[in-house]
Chain A
Amino acid sequence: MKRFINHEELARDSRFVRQDSAMVTILAQVPDDVDTLVELLDKLTPMIEKSVQGTEAAPLFEAYGPAFMLVTLNEPLNPDDPALDSRLRQRFHGIFAGELQALEGAGRSLWDFPDAPWEFKMNMARQCWDETRHVQIFEKLLDHVGGWVGMYPESSFLFECACSDDPAMRVAGVNRGLEGLACDVFRDMIRYAEKVGDEKMRQAIDYVLADELTHVRFGSDWVREFTKDDPEYLERTQEFRRSVDKQFSLGGARSNREDAAIPIAWEDRKDAGFTEEELQELVELSGGGPSRETMREAARILLERHRARSQEAGA
C-alpha cells in the first residue's frame, strides 16, 4: 500500500456522488463583489449541474440555481424557515461526509508517517475510533432529520485541503483547521437543538464536540513537538493552517461577521488550546469574502441566467 493518497482516491460505496470542490476554493478567494462572484461561479455551472444529477440536490439546483449552496448551506438554521428541513439535511450530510474524511485523515496519518513517535500514533489511533463513532452518530442524526447517506453530493475538500504530506502540516490542517471548524459547526448545531428542544440531537452533538476539543489539543501538542527548535518550520506550518482556515471559512459563512451562518466557537476553541492571538487572526482571515447579501444577489443572477439558458435550449 502506497503512502500519501490523493483526495480523489478516497473509496466510497455506490450511494455516494462526488462533487468538485472548486466552489469552496473560489469562495476563499473572491472579494465582496457580486459581478466577480457571478462570473466565477457561472463557469462552474455545467460541472455543478452534472454533480447534482440523481441526488436530492437536483431539485435545489432547479429552485435556487447553480449557486444553490450559497443560499441553502450558508444560511443560518432558523426553525421558522420554510426551507429548514432541506438545510438541516444538507448540513448533517455535509458533517457526516466531513467526519468520514476526518476518519480517513487520522487513519492515513498512521500509515503515512510510520516513524512518528508512539504517542502520536496512539493519539491518531484514538482519533480513528472517535471519528468512527462520529460517522455512526451523524448517520443516525441524518436519519433523525429524514435524510440518508448519498442524498447529496460529497465534496472531499476537507481531506484535500487538510491532508498535507508533512506531519506537522497534516496535524495543523486536520486537527486544528478541520477540527476547529467542527467546533464552530457543532456549537452552532447545539444552539439550534436547544432552540427547538431536540434533546437527542443536543446530547449526541455535545459528546462529539467534547471529542473534537481533544482532537484540537492533539493538533496543538504535535505542531509544537514537530516544529520545536525550528521557528521557520513552525511559521510555514502556521501559514498552512491559515490557508486551511481561510478555505474552511467558506467565504465568511464561518466567521464572526454579523451575517455569518456559523459563528466562531470562541470559548470552545479556547478550551481546546487556541490562543487569543490565533483566534483574533481567525476572525480577521475568515471575515473577508462575500457578504450574505452578495451571495444572495449572485445566486439570484445565476438562477436567472440558468433559466434563460434552459428556455433557450428548450426552444
Chain B
Amino acid sequence: MSEAIRMYPGAGPDERTTFDAYSAFDVPADLRELHGRYDVETTARRVRNFRYAHEWMMMIGGGWVATIPELPVKTGLGKIVWDDAQSADQLGRRLPELRCGKRSVTTSEAANEGFAALVQEVAEPESPDLTIEKITGMFDVLKPHLLAVYDRMGRETDQISDAPTIEILDDVVRRTRKHIAWGDEVLGRLCDTEARRERRGKRAQEMRTKLEACGGVTGTITDESFGAH
C-alpha cells in the first residue's frame, strides 16, 4: 500500500507538497487591480439611490397601465413593471452586504429633493392622450441616464471587492437596454407626424434639463454621465 498523499502542507521543508503552484485561475492571469472609485459607504448610498429610481419606475408603470389606450404599450409596460421590481429587489438585497443592516433590503433613498421631484414629474402625465409624454420621460430620459450611470459604475468600482454590485448592475443594465429599445420603438410608431415628434423632443428636453439641475440619480452632476439619447 503506497504512502498517503499529503493534501495540506505542514511547516517543515520535508512537509511541503510536491504540487506546482499553478491553477486554472492563473491562466490567463487575473489582470484586475484592487481599488475602485467608491468605498463601501458610497456604494451603499448609490445602491439606495438606484433602488429608489427602480421602485418608483415600477409604481409609475403600474399606475400608467390603466391610463394608456394603446394595447401593445399597456402589455409592454406590464412586463417592464416586473423587470423594475426585480431590479429594485436585487439592489435591495445588496444593502445588508454593504453593512446597512438586515432591514435595509427594502430601503430606497432619493439622492436629493430635486431627484424626488423629477420622479414625480415623470409620473405626472395621466390623460390617455399623453402616451408620448409618459414614454418619453421614462424611456428617452430617465432610463438612458440610469444606464449610463450603471455602465460607468460597473467599470469604475473595485472589480474584485465590489463584484457583487457589478453582477447586479449587469442584470439591471441588460433589462434597461431592452426597455430603452422598446420605448424607442413605441415612440417611433406613435410620433408619426412632425407635431408628435416635436412633443417628444420638447418633453425630453424639459426632463433632461430638470435631471441635470438635480444632479441625476446620485445627485452628483459633475461626475455623472447624463446619457443623452
Q: Which residues of A contact B128 (CB under 8 A)?
A: 11
Chain B, interface SS category: helix
Complex CA distance for A91 and B62, rounded to whole angstroms: 27
Asked whether, in the complex, the Cβ of A103 is within 8 Å of the Cβ of B78, the reply is: yes
Complex CA distance for A3 and B64, rounded to whole angstroms: 11
Q: Does A131 contact B (CB under 8 A)?
A: yes
Chain A, interface SS category: helix
Stretch at the interface among A110-118, A168-176, A204-212, A252-260: A110-118
Number of B residues whose C-beta is below 8 Å from A?
A: 33
**Contact indicator per residue, chain B 77-106, by CB within 8 Å of chain A (1) or not (0):** 111011011000100100000000000011
Stretch at the interface among B33-41, B53-61, B209-217: B53-61
Asked whether, in the complex, the Cβ of A9 is within 8 Å of the Cβ of B78, the reply is: no
Asked whether, in the complex, the Cβ of A129 is within 8 Å of the Cβ of B78, the reply is: yes
Asked whether, in the complex, the Cβ of B85 is within 8 Å of the Cβ of A103, the reply is: no
Q: Which residues of B contact A12 (CB under 8 A)?
A: 69
Asked whether, in the complex, the Cβ of B82 is within 8 Å of the Cβ of A121, the reply is: no
Closest to B120 in A: A1
Complex CA distance for A121 and B64, rounded to whole angstroms: 15
Asked whether, in the complex, the Cβ of A111 is within 8 Å of the Cβ of B75, the reply is: no
- What's the least CB distance linking B91 to chain A, in Å? 12
- What's the least CB distance linking B133 to chain A, in Å? 11
- What's the least CB distance linking B127 to chain A, in Å? 9
Complex CA distance for A126 and B86, rounded to whole angstroms: 9
Complex CA distance for A158 and B105, rounded to whole angstroms: 35
B63 interface neighbour in A1, A100, A118, A131, Cβ under 8 Å: A1
Q: Does A125 contact B (CB under 8 A)?
A: yes
Complex CA distance for A292 and B69, rounded to whole angstroms: 37
Complex CA distance for A11 and B62, rounded to whole angstroms: 14
Asked whether, in the complex, the Cβ of B65 is within 8 Å of the Cβ of A126, the reply is: no
Asked whether, in the complex, the Cβ of A111 is within 8 Å of the Cβ of B71, the reply is: no
Q: Does B67 contact A (CB under 8 A)?
A: yes
Asked whether, in the complex, the Cβ of A121 is within 8 Å of the Cβ of B85, the reply is: yes
A111-B59, A125-B62 known; A131-B78 Cβ under 8 A: yes
Q: Which residues of A contact B85 (CB under 8 A)?
A: 121-122, 125-126
Closest to A16 in B: B69
Q: Most chain-B Cβ atoms within 10 A of its Cβ — which of A103, A125, A126? A: A125
Q: Does A106 contact B (CB under 8 A)?
A: yes
A1-B124, A103-B74 known; A124-B62 Cβ under 8 A: yes
Asked whether, in the complex, the Cβ of A136 is within 8 Å of the Cβ of B64, the reply is: no
A103-B78, A104-B66, A107-B65 known; A125-B58 Cβ under 8 A: yes
Q: Most chain-A Cβ atoms within 10 A of its Cβ — which of B65, B89, B106? A: B65
Q: Does A132 contact B (CB under 8 A)?
A: yes
Asked whether, in the complex, the Cβ of A132 is within 8 Å of the Cβ of B124, the reply is: no
Q: Does B198 contact A (CB under 8 A)?
A: no
Closest to B128 in A: A11
Q: Which residues of A contact B60 (CB under 8 A)?
A: 1, 111
Asked whether, in the complex, the Cβ of A103 is within 8 Å of the Cβ of B82, the reply is: no
A110 interface neighbour in B79, B81, B92, B124, Cβ under 8 Å: B81
**Contact indicator per residue, chain A 88-119, by CB within 8 Å of chain B (1) or not (0):** 00000000000010011011111110100110
Q: Which residues of A contact B84 (CB under 8 A)?
A: 125
Q: Which residues of A contact B75 (CB under 8 A)?
A: 103, 132, 135-136
- What's the least CB distance linking B18 to chain A, in Å? 54
Closest to A110 in B: B62
A1-B64, A1-B126, A125-B84 known; A132-B69 Cβ under 8 A: no
Complex CA distance for A26 and B78, rounded to whole angstroms: 33
Complex CA distance for A85 and B155, rounded to whole angstroms: 59
**Contact indicator per residue, chain B 100-128, by CB within 8 Å of chain A (1) or not (0):** 00000110000000000000000111101
Q: Which residues of A contact B74 (CB under 8 A)?
A: 100, 103, 132, 135
Q: Does A151 contact B (CB under 8 A)?
A: no
Asked whether, in the complex, the Cβ of B71 is within 8 Å of the Cβ of A9, the reply is: no
Closest to B123 in A: A1
Q: Does B206 contact A (CB under 8 A)?
A: no
Q: Does A40 contact B (CB under 8 A)?
A: no
Q: Which residues of A contact B126 (CB under 8 A)?
A: 1-2
A122-B89, A136-B75 known; A9-B124 Cβ under 8 A: no
B67 interface neighbour in A1, A3, A110, A124, Cβ under 8 Å: A1
- In the complex, 7 of the A-B residue pairs with CB atoms within 8 angstroms, ordered by the A residue number, are A1-B67, A5-B66, A111-B59, A121-B58, A126-B82, A126-B85, A132-B75
